[in-house]
Amino acid sequence: MIRQKKDDFLTALEKLQRILNNKPRVEKMWQEVKMMGFQIKPIFGNISLLSAKKNELVESLWKIGKLDEFFNQEFKKLSPREKEIFFEMINEAKESLESKLGRFSLDQKINLSNLPPLIEMEVFRKKIPHKKLN
């Protein structure tokens, strides 16, 4: 029984790795990010400077969304000890991706002034209501 639980846990981690490594084209990721409810709200700066780095932004958001989906599906299936390990691993991966969101270098060619280009934006996830089936 313990061996089966360990195999289930390892299988779940392998499944997560396959999901994150088999990313679709950027256009498909962008559609999925929208369906996941992610929204970007510019607070300061010229958001068009991100156009060159859009693919990295979309990929990071897509991976964060996939981590959340996977976590919600698999967490209930694990033992208390596995939940602790699983939570730490997912949280660490998510924090790494979130920190990557704040480190995009901007396209310097578009700079219109002598000041370095700065952008501040808020990235949040809007809860999408699930439709109830009758």
Which is higher by pLDDT, 108 or 51? 51
Q: Let me know if residue 128 belongs to a domain.
A: no
Which is higher by pLDDT, 11 or 1? 11
Q: Let me know if residue 27 belongs to a domain.
A: yes
Span 25-53, average pLDDT: 82
Q: Let me know if residue 24 belongs to a domain.
A: yes
Q: Which amino acid is located at 87 in the chain?
A: F
pLDDT for 110: 47
Q: Let me know if residue 120 belongs to a domain.
A: no
pLDDT for 54: 76
Q: Which H or E run contains 38?
A: strand 38-44
What is the rounded average pLDDT for all residues in the chain? 78
Residues 6+ apart with CB under 8 A from 28: none
Per the structure, the count of domains in the chain is 1
Which is higher by pLDDT, 98 or 64? 64
Residue 116 has pLDDT above 70, yes or no: no
Q: Let me know if residue 104 belongs to a domain.
A: no
Domain that holds residue 25: 9-40+51-99
pTM of the entire predicted model: 0.74
Residue 15 has pLDDT above 70, yes or no: yes
Q: Is 26 helix (H, G, I), strand (E, B) or coil?
A: helix
